[in-house]
Structure 1
Amino acid sequence: MVILGSTGSIGTQALDLVRANPDRFRVVGLTAGGSNRDLFDAQVAEFAPAYAGLGEEASTEAAARTCDVVLNGITGAVGLRPTLAALDAGNTLALANKESLIIGGPLVKERARPGQIVPVDSEHSAIAQSLRAGSAAEVRRLVLTASGGPFRGRTAAELAAVTPEQALAHPNFAMGRVITTNSATLVNKGLEVIEAHLLFDIPFDRIDVVVHPQQLIHSMVEFVDGAVVAQLGLPTMLVPIALGMGWPDRVPDAETPIDWTKAADWRFEPLDDAVFPAVTLARAAGERGGTAPAVYNAANEVAVDAFHDGRLRFPDIVSTVAQVLDLHDVPSREHFTVDDVLAADAWARAEAAALIRRS
């Protein structure tokens, strides 16, 4: 295995699985961004990989090395080049870096052979597992579950007073600042809708989102006969990571199963698109295609930083993304390069920053 982003949440949990299964996994490459150098040095000392390095260039080089699996646990657009490097090298790509698929879109898909990308997002891992129950022709729709975030049930007026500290109080997961805020705005679910479309070749009008606060059902597949197959488990990432590492085989005891001796109530609610328009906006960006998803992602990251710096209100994160998308002209050509995608990313960041300065 090569693990990219080894000091982050995905990377550290993957290394826990390696420790628990030394007869099954061997680390041959480790990379990280460099924000936690002490932890990275300790990981290198413990696992003694043949290659170790810090930064995007190191991750791209590591992803291209001969191995069975590359786990891309990097956060953000910097994961695109490593994703492409892993695919070009013929390595199986366990993909937790959703941004590289979303912004790369067709550029990533045309490089990947069938089955080469294994999703590590819990929702998409759940769908991949559920799809084993039938053929592609038998799938009616995909249903992504969402916790609803910390502001489920709030009105639009109430969201105007949300603080950064409140936005980081996710009810189920402990994640980084951007991803946790994205879960609060539902931008993360919007990104996952685009990701599901790209991973499973299902049209956007056949991908639904339902709010499930307990997050014990990770996502579902509805088949043409009315059957719905779901993957259930505790709200952690261990099963998706383990499956990404060992796909298509399961890793014994990767996670503790649900305790069925305890009573529990599971709730499902429709998504309030009026209060949380991020998913609708993501569908529109995904249907436009081309560089629009890259613009959606980049403008959001700038807006999230501005919100945490006190320069933007919580509801204005998504409205800023919408304004930048309105300004963006997607090139009409069919094929895009990495430079095209990264240029759109840079343009969106600059436009978002300019809009925020004028607000």
Structure 2
Amino acid sequence: MDFTKLPRGHRRVVILGSTGSIGTQALEVIAQAPDRFSVAALAAGGRNPAMLAQQAVATRAPAVGAALCTESELEQAVGKAADAAGVRGYHPEIVAGPDAAQHLAAWPEAEVVLNGITGSIGLAPTLAALRVGHLLALANKESLIVGGQLVKDAAAPGQLVPVDSEHSALAQALRSGLPDEVDRLVLTASGGPFRGMSRSDLTAVTPAQALSHPTWTMGRVVTTNSATMVNKALEVIEAHLLFDIPLERIDVVVHPQSVIHSMVQFIDGSTIAQASPPDMRLPIALGIGWPYRVPGSAAACDWSTPAGWTFEPLDEEAFPAVRLAKTAAAAGGTSMAVFNAANEEAVEAFHAGIIGFTDIVDTVAAVVAELSESGDTGVAPGGADPGGITLEAVLDAECRARASARARCGMKETSAG
């Protein structure tokens, strides 16, 4: 299938991570455009089965899945939600267990999969969706970052569509020129809650402060990653993988207003920017409807009101995550899988009160260095990448990275990988 020439017609969408921020906003987009979209299946972690069941009943999703529920638990939740809504005769297919999202990512009665799962657990569903030929609207950046070439090799041209606001902006701006006319990609960053603070200022940051993002409402991990700039670091690598632009030609600029979502600078000196008020419904709608726009997805900029947009360079001394991620990505192998897994563990340790805020990125740097020196990132001595990676290699590298990060943070070992 040529994914660059998809028809504009009605699309059935699988939403992975339906109870999260991306998932709930995707359901709003679909509800507002019933002529364009319908729900084919819903999947969530299962920590809130009542909410998942209510979503299923409201959309009449043909299939519903949860990783942390049993079939009977999810079936009972759906039945209870249906009774409360006065709905009779609704009996979706129930998929339960750790492979629920992966199973529904390959759901045959769908054209599009929106992967809104948080974390590297989204890798297997990403690969499943690509392999069966679904258009993949990707909000789960971690699966591309840790999977790297594994994901790119599985994707047909045009099959992988970014949903992150920055990468959606880049995809839109890139339509303004030919690939060989692109000079640089410029990703914007809000600066998070600690913009302007020095590294010494950041040592006293609390978890509550780290979760007070000035612009976006996101989950705990992504919000913390935004505060440390790890989220922007991951986005730089994602842009590199999505658009095949060398890392040295991808920049980050701090833009507190979060209206310019990213920019493309072309070889003739022109810079094309995509602007809209911060609202994830726009990139979600464009992701599941790509390459067509969905009318009324979100509000446009109000040009009748005075406004000012400012830009400033990223302070890489206070926020070294972007520099660290570029170095790890350049090393190849499973280095970015190590980076991401170590960060996820360090974020948990921070919120548990075990380590400080600046210790998060310090821990990631130490784990990446440790496993690179030992050869556990799949990179040969001297920095040579031995070749393509496998899903098993990624999972093994993640396991080693998590163990190292937990040990460095003084966390108790768990049986989870």
> Following superposition of structure 1 onto structure 2, how do residues 68-83 of structure 1 map, counting pairs within 5 Å?
68-83=111-126
1:316-331 pair list within 5 angstroms:
316-328=359-371, 329=375, 330-331=377-378
Rounded to whole Å, the distance in 1 between the matches of 2:283 and 2:399 is 31
1:85-124 matched pairs, under 5 angstroms: 85-124=128-167
Distance 2:354 2:19 in 1: 30
Q: Which amino acid aligns with 1:271?
A: L
Distance in 2 (alpha carbons) for counterparts of 1:322 and 1:190: 13
Deviation at 1:169, TM superposition (A): 0.6
Task: Show the counterpart of 2:197.
Answer: 154
- Which of 30, 34, 48 lines up with 1:18 in the alignment? 30
2:340 aligned residue? 297
- Map Cα deviations across residues 63-87 of structure 1 (whole Å, 9 max, x no partner): 1122211000111111000000000
Match of 2:251 in 1: 208
**How many residue pairs were aligned?**
358
Q: Matched residue of 2:195: which SS?
A: coil
Partner Cα distance (1:77, 1:168) in 2: 21
Candidates 101, 110, 132, aligned match of 1:59 = 101
Deviations 1:258-277 (A, max 9, x none): 11111111110000001110
Query: d(CA) in 2 for partners of 1:269 and 1:297?
Result: 27
Residue 194 of structure 2: SS of its match in structure 1?
A: coil
**2:365 paired with 1:312:** no
Alignment of 1:24-63 (within 5 A): 24-55=36-67, 56-63=98-105
1:336 counterpart residue number: 389
**Matches for 1:277-292 after TM superposition, within 5 Å:** 277-292=320-335
Q: Does 1:276 align with 2:276?
A: no
The amino acid across from 1:34 in the alignment is G
Equivalent residue, structure 2, for 1:6: 18
User: Which secondary structure state, in structure 2, belongs to the residue aligned with residue 39 of structure 1?
Assistant: helix
Partner of 1:185: 228
Counterpart amino acid of 1:191? L
Write the letter of the residue equivalent to 1:246. Answer: G
- Cα distance, 1:241 vs. partner? 0.2
1:306 is aligned with what amino acid?
Answer: A
SS at match of 1:150: helix
Larger radius of gyration: 2
Question: In 2, distance between residues paired with 1:54 and 1:277?
Answer: 37
Query: Separation in 1 of the partners of 2:388 and 2:216?
Result: 37
Aligned equivalent of 1:172 = 215
Q: Determine the structure 1 residue equivalent to 2:79.
A: none
2:270 corresponds to 1:227: yes
Q: Secondary structure at the match of 2:310?
A: coil
Deviation (angstroms), 1:235: 1.1
- Cα distance in 2 for partners of 1:245, 1:110 equals 21
Secondary structure of 1:311's match?
Answer: coil
> SS at 2:333's partner residue?
coil
List runs of 5+ in structure 1 lacking aligned partners.
none
Q: CA deviation at 1:310?
A: 0.8
Quote the Cα distance in structure 2 between the aligned partners of 1:289 and 1:49: 40
Partner of 2:401: 348
Distance 1:346 1:48 in 2: 38
Residues 236-247 of structure 1 correspond to what in structure 2 (within 5 A)?
236-247=279-290
Distance in 2 (CA, whole Å) between partners of 1:40 and 1:344 is 32
The one-letter code matched in structure 1 to 2:251 is D
Alignment partners' CA distance in 2, 1:184 and 1:26: 35
C-alpha separation between the residues in 2 aligned to 1:44 and 1:356?
40
SS at match of 2:408: helix
Q: Following the alignment from structure 1 to structure 2, what is the Cα–Cα distance between the partners of residues 272 and 26?
A: 44
Shift of 1:210: 0.3
SS at match of 2:39: coil
- Aligned to 1:282, what secondary structure does the other structure show? helix
Letter in 1 for 2:24: T
How far does residue 139 in structure 1 lie from its aligned partner after superposition?
Answer: 0.2
Aligned-pair CA distance for 1:47: 1.5
Q: Which secondary structure does the structure 1 equivalent of 2:129 belong to? A: helix
SS for the counterpart of 1:243 is helix
Q: Which amino acid aligns with 2:217?
A: A
In the alignment, the residues of structure 1 paired with residue 58 and residue 281 of structure 2 have an alpha-carbon distance, to the nearest angstrom, of 21
The residue type paired with residue 122 of structure 2 is G
CA distance in 2, matches of 1:20, 1:177: 28
| Secondary structure of the corresponding residue to residue 334 of structure 1 | coil
1:133-175, Cα deviation, whole Å (9 max, x unpaired): 0010100010000011111111111111111111111010111
CA distance in 1, matches of 2:262, 2:388: 32
Distance in 1 (CA, whole Å) between partners of 2:178 and 2:364 is: 37
CA distance in structure 1 between the partners assigned to 2:207 and 2:62 by the alignment: 41
TM-score normalised per structure 1: 0.98
SS in 2 for 1:28: strand
Deviation of 1:50 after TM superposition, in Å, equals 2.0
Deviations 1:267-321 (A, max 9, x none): 1000000111000001011111210001111101111111111110111110000
Using the alignment, how far apart are the partners of 1:32 and 1:260 within structure 2?
39
The separation in 1 between residues aligned to 2:105 and 2:65, in whole angstroms, is: 11
Structure 1 stretches of 4+ with a deviation exceeding 4 A read none
Distance 1:154 1:112 in 2: 41
Q: Structure 2: any 5+ residue segments left out of the alignment?
A: 1-12, 68-97, 381-385, 412-417
Give 3-state SS (helix, strand or coil) of 1:283's partner: helix
TM-score (norm 2): 0.85
